[in-house]
Homo-oligomer: A and B are copies of this chain.
Amino acid sequence: MTVSITDVARAAGVSASTVSRALRGRQGVSDEVRAQITAVAAQLGYTASQSASSLASGRTYTIGVVVPYVGRWFFGTVLDSAEHVFSAAGYDVLLYNLGSPETRKRFFTKLPVRKRVDALLSLLIPDDEESAALRSLGVPLASTVGGARPGFTVVGIDDRAGTESAVRHLVNLGHRRIGMISGSSGPQHWTTPIARRQAYLDVLAEAGIEHDPALEADGDYTVEGGERAMTELLAASRPPTAVFAQSDEMAMGALRALRRHRLKVPDDVSVVGFDDHELADVIGLTTVAQPVAGQGAEAARLLLRQLDEPGAEAPGHVQMPIRLVLRETTAPPRPRGPQ
């Protein structure tokens, strides 16, 4: 049926152990025999059975990646770059898409990755219990979202600094009524929205602007949510002249809401996003750019390093640079007064 290691061994006139050593580049086999075996294996189209190999060796050469929504740009991009790093190093990736609460719960209770992966990269923020479950796997862990967590190597960005640059930009343009569309905090302890909100409040305070709770709305990190949130903000008794959205998707939703209300951007309302989505440039959105692919690649590299040198201390938290990208959705507020 399917060709096994003993088939190769027989065909090459050696033992199975020699085939195993030869094909995996171990020493203890002469160059000529190795060449022989390699040739025979190629000719027979032999591939080692991953199951048998990992059962015997304990190594799976597989990395688990858990992500909330593969379909969303941010996660897709991180996954893309991480996958490249993994596959270049000879690792396969097992993907778990945990968008709905049920699949998420099932994953963390059944833990299908147990004994199946050598390491795990999480693109979602586990709560304490989930964190513990992952640690119980006994493999290196990394994450590209949220703040530092025990047992994890997390590569992220400085949410405070990013938010500050965005909001300060609006302040410097002369805006005083600055709204914010935030991402839902959800059931998990999702630190990002919290950090960004705090930074937003701090900048307002430092500029001597009184915070108006009516200028905050939740956008659920989606386009539709952003649209709803912007609509809410516009319904305030004194609507904002500028809005900071915690993600580009929400900013895009906000832009759509503004268009529906026949308000001009940036003349009537300025908008700044967060992420530098691939289409942010297309629609001219001012935003704070973060190296999304870079974070995925870096996290993957750090994971691989831990696998290569098991003794080494893993960095707890690394921060990647952010930068404000000025485009066409921000401008000074329209001068008020008698027209």
By a beta-carbon cutoff of 8 Å, the part of chain A in contact with chain B is 2, 45, 47, 49-52, 54-55, 60, 62, 65, 69-73, 75-77, 79-81, 83-84, 87-88, 92-97, 99-100, 103, 110-112, 114-116, 136, 138, 223, 252-253, 255-256, 259, 278-279, 281-284, 293
Contact = CB atoms under 8 A, between A and B. Distances in A.
A2 B113 CA distance: 13
Contact of A115 (B2, B69, B79): B2
Nearest to A109: B42
A197 to B, nearest CB: 25
B69 A71 contact: no
Nearest to A58: B51
Contact of A49 (B93, B100, B115, B259): B115
Nearest to A112: B92
Nearest to A107: B87
28 contacts: A2-B138, A47-B111, A47-B112, A49-B115, A50-B51, A51-B54, A51-B55, A52-B55, A65-B95, A70-B80, A71-B76, A71-B79, A73-B76, A75-B76, A76-B76, A87-B96, A87-B97, A88-B103, A92-B94, A92-B96, A93-B95, A94-B94, A94-B95, A223-B282, A252-B279, A253-B282, A259-B284, A282-B283
Contacts of A255: 282
Copies of the chain in the assembly: 2
Closest 6 CB pairs of A and B: A71-B80, A76-B76, A51-B55, A83-B97, A47-B114, A51-B54
A72 B76 contact: yes
A111 B47 CA distance: 8
Contacts of A252: 279, 282
A87 B103 contact: yes
A115 B83 contact: no
Contact of A103 (B50, B73, B81, B84): B84
A84 B97 CA distance: 7
A195 B71 CA distance: 27
Interface SS of A by simple majority: mixed
Given A47-B110, A50-B116, 9 more contacts: A65-B95, A70-B83, A71-B80, A73-B73, A79-B95, A84-B103, A87-B103, A88-B103, A252-B279
Contacts of A50: 51, 112, 115-116
B49 A55 contact: yes
Contacts of A99: 80, 84
Contacts of A110: 47
A63 to B, nearest CB: 10
A47 to B, nearest CB: 4
B93 A94 contact: yes
Contact of A51 (B60, B70, B97, B103): B60
A96 B47 CA distance: 17
A278 B55 contact: no
A67 to B, nearest CB: 9
Nearest to A259: B284
